[in-house]
Amino acid sequence: MKKPMDIDPQRSYFLALQDKIYLNFGGQGTLPTPAITAMQSAYLEGQKYGPFSRRALDWVAEQEHLTRTALAETLNVATTDITLTQSTTQGCAIVLWGWSWQPGDHLLLSDGEHPGVVANVAQLARKFGVTWSTCPLSYCTDNSVTILEQFIQPTTRMLVLSHILWHTGEVLPLAEIGAFCAAHNIKLLVDGAQSLGVLPLDLTGVDFYAATGHKWLCGPAGLGVLYIHPQYRESLQPTHCGWRGLQGFTDGQPQWSADGQRHEIATTAWELGVGLRASLTLHQSWGTASQRYERLIHTAGALWTELGTIPHLTRLLPYPPSSGLVSFRSADHDPETLAQTLEQRGICVRAVAAGACVRASVHYLTTTQEVQQLAQVLRELEG
């Protein structure tokens, strides 16, 4: 197994880690300088060729293929099953609006979904006459399948849930849930915004997986990824249509690309992919996905333990997290005020309304000393 490298030299590439404790990777990761340099070089290269010259367009196509391949390898899926998107929400929207819904069909969501996904489902219900509801999977990791059995309906066609719940940090068991959905002929759409770059991924049993590169992978904002199981490549219809997804027309009818590119629309900032690949290379230089995950949960667990020793604080999870999200509440401070106070002390965390909590996003780049400093400041504030 590849031996992990010392993270201290790596941290020097991340400007946001130099003069503060940055614990907002679950919102947006900090972009490393090699990624910034790579994107700048890509922009200059394209202009040198002439941005719409044949040579430039061929080079862009090659760069986009490299980006799809890098993301496919990260997700452990085939390159042909990858669609490049702008965000996790856009990936989920492609699936939700591209599915063939019938009036009376039912969608089931967990109670911990992001507002962008919930809004898409609500609009979908209004347009197509489908129904939707939620089930209480927060704090129920060990018996999530039992919960699902109680909340599915005869007309349930799709389950939409987050791999890691964005407010509590719980990791839902995709393998068990995927097997359950397959047994009940329910399609599984997974919001992977908080799991890509955190967990070693196995998407066996997952029909659709949407994620973004700007959080835990520390890539540039504006580039996401959607995995579509090849079984549904033809049946999932393009809804936002553009030239990037087309091969041409036959008798006036669009002929879509034979792979995941069929859901891509039009001109995009392909240079973002160059930056994301640079970030991926930097992460991979430290060690394997499993090694990075092991370090991440060790550090997150250390923070969870420290928080348990501070009076007037309540941890959202009653057990150490299996992800980098560590959420807590204060009896004396509302979440927004506490987050602002911590930022004034040089510690960046986030107030999350969905859990009425403060959320610290612990990366494998986070040090034990940073965890201890956060705990010490909280002790002073809560004392």
**Residue 152 has what DSSP assignment?**
-
Closest Cα partner for 204 from 234, 232, 174? 174
Contact residues for 26 (Cβ-Cβ < 8 A; gap 6+): 166, 194, 215, 216, 324, 325, 350, 359, 361
pLDDT of residue 366: 96
Q: What is the pLDDT of residues 204-229, one digit of tens each?
A: 999 999 999 999 999 999 999 999 99
Provide the pLDDT confidence category of residue 175 given band limits of 50, 70 and 90.
Answer: very high
Q: What is the pLDDT of residues 94-121, one digit of tens each?
A: 999 999 999 999 999 999 999 999 999 9
pLDDT of residue 382: 81
Average pLDDT, the chain: 94
pLDDT of residue 9: 79
- Prediction pTM value: 0.95
pLDDT of residue 109: 98
Q: What letter represents residue 373's amino acid?
A: Q
First vs last Cα of the chain: how many Å apart?
A: 45
Provide the pLDDT confidence category of residue 363 given band limits of 50, 70 and 90.
Answer: very high
Average pLDDT of the residues in 40-65: 92
Q: What is the pLDDT of residues 132-163, one digit of tens each?
A: 999 999 887 678 999 999 999 999 999 999 99
pLDDT of residue 2: 62
Contact call for residues 209 and 196 (beta carbons, < 8 A): no
Domains of the chain: 7-30+288-382 (3.90.1150.10), 38-279 (3.40.640.10)
User: Given strand 357-361, what is the order of strands in its sheet?
Assistant: 313-315, 325-330, 357-361, 350-352
- Rounded distance between C-alpha atoms, residue 363 and residue 98, angstroms: 34
Contact call for residues 212 and 88 (beta carbons, < 8 A): yes
| Pairing verdict, β 347-348 and 21-22 | parallel
| Pairing verdict, β 156-162 and 187-191 | parallel
Q: What is the pLDDT of residues 251-305, one digit of tens each?
A: 989 998 988 888 888 888 999 999 999 999 999 999 999 999 999 999 999 999 9
